[in-house]
Structure 1
C-alpha cells in the first residue's frame, strides 16, 4: 500500500510539472505571437511612413515647381501690365489725333490748291518748253482736286508727281519736234533750264530763247552746227561731247 502512494505522488508531481511547462510554452507562444504581430504592425507602419514620405517629397517637388512657375507668371504679368499701360497711352494719342483729322482735312485742301496755283505760275513764267504737255498736267491736277472719288492722299501724290516732273526737267537734256507760233514745224532742244533752242528742219535758221525779253533771238550761222549736234546728242544719235553754244549767265 505504501509503494502505491509514492507512485501516485510522483505521478502528480510529474503532471503538475507538465502542466506548468505547457502553461509556460503557451505563454511563450503568446509572447512570440505578440512580437510577430507587433513586427507586422511595425512593418505596415514603416510602409505607410515610406509611402507618406514619398508622397510628401513629390508634393514638395511639385510645390517648388509651382512656386517657380508662379514667379515666372508674376514677372510676365508685370511686363504685360507695362505693355498694356503703354498701349493705353498710345490709344489716347491716337484718339487725340483722330479728333484732329477733320481740322487737318480742312487745311489740306487749301494747301493743295495753293501748291497747284504756285506750280501753274511757275510754269507760265518758266522757259516755254513742252508747254502744252505741262499745261495739260496742271489741268489734270485741277480735275483731281475737284473729283469727289479721289482721296486726299491720292490728290497729294499726284501733285507731288507734278512737282517731281518739273524738277526733273532741270536735270535733263531733251529734243522734240513742235511748232512755232507762226505755225512752222521745227526741232526744239533744251539743256536743263539753262538753255533752250530751236532749229528749222533745213538747218538754215537757229534761235535761242531769251528769258528776260521772253522772246526768240536769232543766232548766227556759226551756231547752226553746234545746235544741230546738240539735237542729235539729246536724241542719243551721237555721244555727248563739248559744244560751243550761247548760254546766258545766271542773274543774281
Structure 2
C-alpha cells in the first residue's frame, strides 16, 4: 500500500538537502575565493613591505654614505684652513716681494740710465781713497783702478760684469783694513829714516802691514827699521825693541809664529785725538795695542 504524503515529504527534504548542499558549495566557493583574495592581498602587502624596506635600506645606505662624505669634507676643510693659515705669512711676504719687484721694474729704465754715472763715481771714489790712504802697494792698487777705467770705457762687458768687477776691487780695498800682510820690496817713493839726505836712496827691505793702522819695514839684517807716519807722510825710525816686534809680526804673518799682540807705534793718529800715535816719545802704553790678526783696538780701517 502506498502512502503519497510521506513521499512528498521526502522529496521536499531532498530538495532542501540539495539546496543546503548547493549553498554550502557556494559558500565554500566564496570562502575559497575570499581566502585566495586575502592570500593574494597578503602576498602583495608583503611584496610592498619588502620593496618599502629595500627603499628604507637604500635610503639608510645613501644617508650613511652622505654622512661619511660630509665628515671627510669637514676634515678636508679643516686641513685646508690650517694649511691656509700656514701659508698666509708666505703669501704676504711674496706679495710684498712682488710689489717691490714691480716698483723696481717701473724704475729700471731710470736705473739703467743712472748706472754708468754711478759706476764712474764709485771708481773715482776708490781712486781718491787709495791716494789718501797710506802708500803701501800704491802702484798695484792704482793699477786695479786703471783697469776699471778701461773696463768702463769698453763695450765688450755687460753692465752687470762691470759692476761685479768694481765691487771686487772695493772688497779688496776694504779687506786691507782687516788683514795682516808682509812682503819684501824696495824702499822707494819716500825717504827712509836712515837716508834722509839722499832722496834717491833705495834698499830692499821687509814690510809689515797691520790693517790700516800700522805700516812698518825692517832691513834684512834687522839693524834698521821704520814706521810710516801718516801725519808727516814719511818714515820715522824705530828703536831696537820695535824692530824686534816688527820682525815677530812678520813671522806671524808668514804663519811661522803663533798669533799674539804686537806692541808697536801706530802709523795714524789715535782715534780719540789724545796724542800722535807715532810721535818720537810714543810707547806701547800710548799707542793702541796692535793685534797680530790684522786689527787694532782702535779700528782705523
Measured at CA, do residues 14 and 241 of structure 1 come closer, stay the same or move farther in structure 2, by a change above 3 Å? closer
Alignment of 1:100 onto 2:107: yes
Q: Which residue of 1 aligns with 2:60?
A: 57
Q: Which residue of 2 aligns with 1:171?
A: 178
Match of 2:213 among 177, 194, 206: 194
| Deviation at residue 116 of structure 1 after TM alignment | 1.5
Structure 1, unaligned runs of 5 or more: none
Q: Which residue of 2 aligns with 1:225?
A: 244
Q: Which residue of 1 aligns with 2:49?
A: 46
CA distance in 2, matches of 1:143, 1:205: 41
Larger CA deviation: 85-94 vs 150-159: 85-94
Q: Which residue of 2 aligns with 1:34?
A: 37
Give TM-score, length-normalised by structure 1.
Answer: 0.77
- Where does 1:1-252 land on structure 2 (aligned, <5 Å)? 1=2, 2=4, 3-61=6-64, 69=73, 94-148=101-155, 150-181=157-188, 184-219=203-238, 223-240=242-259, 245-248=264-267, 250=269, 252=273
Structure with more contact order per residue of length (Cα contacts < 8 Å, sep ≥ 6): 2
Give TM-score, length-normalised by structure 2.
Answer: 0.66
| Deviation at residue 141 of structure 1 after TM alignment | 3.2
Q: How many residues end up aligned between the 2 structures?
A: 246
CA distance in 2, matches of 1:244, 1:109: 46
C-alpha root-mean-square deviation of aligned residues, in Å?
Answer: 3.6
The structure that is helix-richer by fraction is 1
CA distance in 2, matches of 1:210, 1:178: 19
Measured at CA, do residues 22 and 90 of structure 1 come closer, stay the same or move farther in structure 2, by a change above 3 Å? farther
CA distance in 2, matches of 1:147, 1:192: 34
Measured at CA, do residues 60 and 248 of structure 1 come closer, stay the same or move farther in structure 2, by a change above 3 Å? closer
Measured at CA, do residues 89 and 216 of structure 1 come closer, stay the same or move farther in structure 2, by a change above 3 Å? closer
CA distance in 2, matches of 1:222, 1:63: 95
